[in-house]
Amino acid sequence: QSALTQPASVSGSPGQSITISCTGSSSDVGGYNYVSWYQQYPGKAPKLIIFDVSNRPSGASNRFSGSKSGNTASLTISGLQAEDAADYYCSSYRSSSTPLVFGTGTKVTVL
């Protein structure tokens, strides 16, 4: 029941673009388009920012975009802003008795 793999930290300067990867297997990320991304501030609940690989829910900034290639999904934050400093988690449906799995989480720092 291993978690999806994300880089522990990613940083960028204001205005830059950064990309966070989320690597799984053909049983989860690679096999289904049920990949979601969440933003979480300290002490707060996660907030959905991308669902089904590349769709943005109402209210999510259009600076967030998602994609997938093989067993790796990616979240790109363009035009980085101070308010983007947070933790980011991916999740995916997994074809097993444990059908939902989260990524290890990535801390984004705005320099």
Nearest to other proteins of 23, 92 (CB atom): 92
Q: Which is nearer to other proteins, 13 or 42 (CB)?
A: 42
103 close to 21: Cβ distance less than 8 angstroms: no
Task: Report, in Å, the least distance between residue 100 CB and other proteins.
Answer: 4
Residues in the chain: 111
How near is the Cβ of 65 to other proteins at its closest, in Å?
Answer: 17
Residues 39-78 that bind other proteins (CB under 8 A): 40, 44-48, 51-52, 57
Classified as helix, coil or strand, 58 is coil
Q: What angle do CA 102, 105, 65 make, to 5 degrees?
A: 85
